[in-house]
Amino acid sequence: MLQRLSTDTFNWILIVGVILFVIEVAFFHGGMIVSAIFLGFFVYIGWKKFTQLWGKVLFWLGIVGLIFAILNMLAVRFLILAAIVLFLINYSKSKQEAERIQPELPDEVVNMDEIIQLKPLFDHKVFGDQHTSDTSYQWRDINIHGAFGDRIIDLSNTVLPNDTAVISVRHMVGNIIIYVPYEVEVSVQHSSIFGRVYILGKHHWKLMNQSVLYQTAHYDTTFPRVKIVTSLLSGDIEVKRI
């Protein structure tokens, strides 16, 4: 959508947004801006004391209040409305301008590949915990997303291929725990807005809008190996040997 957006259109949206921001400050005594700054301070204090109960309460109350304060700003409402309108206009244009490609096939098609549908290890699940089987299971690469709950993956109950196994988890709120056998090389790329990291003895106690990347010393040259790519809005990740 941004590629289709002309510079003039973007400039007009930016100018109107700034004007609304100035109007809110000048004529509404700061409006929700003062509230947003105040709640942002709550979030900061709560995060600094997140290990204590009152810190957690203050942090989450600040987050919820900050979201509502930002959404109630005139400039933000205008930008959201403009984004929706531009999306609908560009979507309509893309449907009209869609290129149709008609492949030319020979009269006789031979050597067609046989395709087999397999059942993935995990289904996409919005609420609740998920974990791999407690008994032996056949390995298949994992690529899932979810909203709330924990995800536990135990690689000790399966046989990894003599290649690179892939685990990709995109999650909102919850913990991710992955157990890896000692003979398997590991690469972990993790990003999180809020949370903690424990990867094979390495700790990050307060990860805030950051990414970390670790891999074992012989990952590039030794098999089997597993590549782990995870992202969390809020939660902890643990990668342990078993």
Q: What is the pLDDT of residues 192-221, one digit of tens each?
A: 888 889 999 888 877 788 899 999 999 999
Low-confidence ranges of the chain (pLDDT < 50): none
Residue 23 Cα distances to 28, 57, 81, 192, angstroms: 7, 34, 18, 35
pTM above 0.95, yes or no: no
Q: Taking a C-beta distance cutoff of 8 angstroms, is the pair 186, 239 a contact?
A: yes
Q: Is the peptide bond before 224 cis (omega within 30 degrees of 0)?
A: yes
Locate tokens 């290890």: which residue? Answer: 121
Q: Which two tokens stand for residue 130?
A: 């998920």
From CA 2, how far away is CA 50, in angstroms rounded?
38
pLDDT tens by residue, 39-80: 888 888 888 888 888 888 888 888 888 888 777 777 777 777
